[in-house]
Chains A and B, each alone.
Chain A
């Protein structure tokens, strides 16, 4: 009897971990979409965080409290390098260059075999990401976005999303805001990636491609971006749903896709359509 219960808890705990980590990824998406930008690089930043974290733990044996911030810093630096030139251009360039980043990194992970384990990836990563840590970080980040959202920074972000030209005329430093948002989102995704690596104990080069990027985007599309909690709820639904729909077997992917399409068509503001008040 104990055996099936253990099995059940094992699956269940993985799901709870995944929910929290996907919540952080959804927030990283929110961070750029909240000011009207589109990045398809969240999965790539996540992968960078995952590989950085895993390597620091496995090869250097650094303590986890040090591994985590470095896992956020490395993607932040890459975001700085990419964002500098592309953010001055039309928004489409950011989306395209972030897709390219994902592909470049994938090839790098596969070919730097001695370091990254190549196509096999890295395994045996100690499971150091406790549920407390994951959900603690998620709660802090939601609260942080909430607080920032209710300040001149939040007003500037919403203004950019609604009318970038008018926001610029109001005195918002558009390039600075775009770059800041991209860097913050890269840090969050890197953090989530490192937490994922230290909870699944395995990472591979193909987990952070275009498909993962679209999945992260769909968290925000389904949940909405009116409040920071909205994309997190979107992530919860899209992560829990496949588990609940397991009996549907192959149809569950179709079902999942259908839900996203219906949400985008009929709920353009997402399933949590409320808007954060931005005045005291």
Chain B
């Protein structure tokens, strides 16, 4: 399998702090790739670099063989990248359905004047978009809330809506920043089932998650960050047994979970 996304020497410095420090990562097409590491390790910063919200201090990024290091976020979205946010970022006044339709922005092609004149081509595209958005809402289990205000959804529902909205652009690579955060165990299990189905939709997943059971269960490959540096990489088995990983997590709650996942 070839790399869909490659980071080479990716570095982000905030004043004195090296939040991401010379990281090399290859995300294989069709894989589920996990990024783990303690709080403040630089995982979200790494995602912000990939999605173009931050420009790296140095290093480069290629998506599907093309250098995207200097591209703004919207251009990367057009190339098949999508993401969700650790701190949910809904368009809260919009309805649940409208949020998903906003995610289709790059795929809808009817020109402005055809919207202005309400031409048949425009109307057909909008109807089709609505139908596809409803399908995605069914997929994440929110179809019955389609017309509700998205800001009024429960926390776990907002997380699932963000996933539906990100999928609306038909991404090839989907970045999920702590998708299970704040979810109860039942919700987390449902989420895992959902994400496993994405593989069948040809979506490559790159995800940050603290729930070790979740990560070990889902990921083909795992990269471990600590203080901005990549300290380990490999399959779930390798990571469980990696001494530097255990050390990085030592004393933290995550270490216990890691140990538990190890025992399981």
User: Which A residues have a C-beta under 8 Å from some C-beta of B?
Assistant: 144, 147-148, 150-153, 155-156, 158-159, 162-163, 165-174, 275, 277-280
Contacts and interface: CB of A to CB of B under 8 A. Distances in A.
Contact of A151 (B52, B110, B165, B169): B110
A253 B161 CA distance: 48
Give the interface residue-count category, chain B: 35 or more
B235 to A, nearest CB: 30
Given A171-B74, A171-B77, A278 B94 contact: yes
Residue picked from A144, A150, A170, A172, most chain B C-beta under 10 Å: A170
A168 B103 CA distance: 10
B91 to A, nearest CB: 4
B15 interface: no
23 contacts: A148-B116, A151-B112, A151-B122, A151-B126, A152-B115, A153-B115, A156-B102, A156-B105, A158-B91, A162-B93, A165-B53, A166-B89, A168-B52, A168-B53, A169-B51, A171-B106, A174-B72, A174-B74, A278-B101, A279-B98, A279-B126, A279-B130, A280-B126
Contact of B165 (A152, A170, A174, A278): A170
Nearest to B116: A147
B216 to A, nearest CB: 28
A144 B112 CA distance: 11
A170 B98 CA distance: 13
A170 B105 contact: yes
Given A166-B85, A174-B74, A278 B98 contact: yes
B92 interface: yes
Interface of B: 51-53, 72-74, 77-78, 82-83, 85, 89-95, 97-98, 101-106, 108, 110, 112, 115-118, 122-123, 126-127, 129-130, 133, 165, 169
Contacts of A163: 89-91
Contact of B127 (A148, A152, A172, A280): A280
A172 B90 CA distance: 15
Contacts of A147: 115-118
Given A144-B116, A162-B91, A172-B74, 12 more contacts: A150-B115, A151-B115, A155-B94, A155-B102, A158-B102, A159-B91, A163-B89, A165-B73, A168-B53, A168-B73, A277-B98, A279-B95
A168 to B, nearest CB: 4
A159 B118 CA distance: 22
Q: Which of B73, B106, B123 has the most CB of A within 10 A?
A: B73
A153 B106 CA distance: 11
Contacts of B108: 152
A165 B95 CA distance: 19
Contacts of B52: 168
A152 B77 CA distance: 16
Given A152-B101, A169-B51, A170-B77, A162 B94 contact: yes
Given A147-B116, A151-B115, A171 B91 contact: no
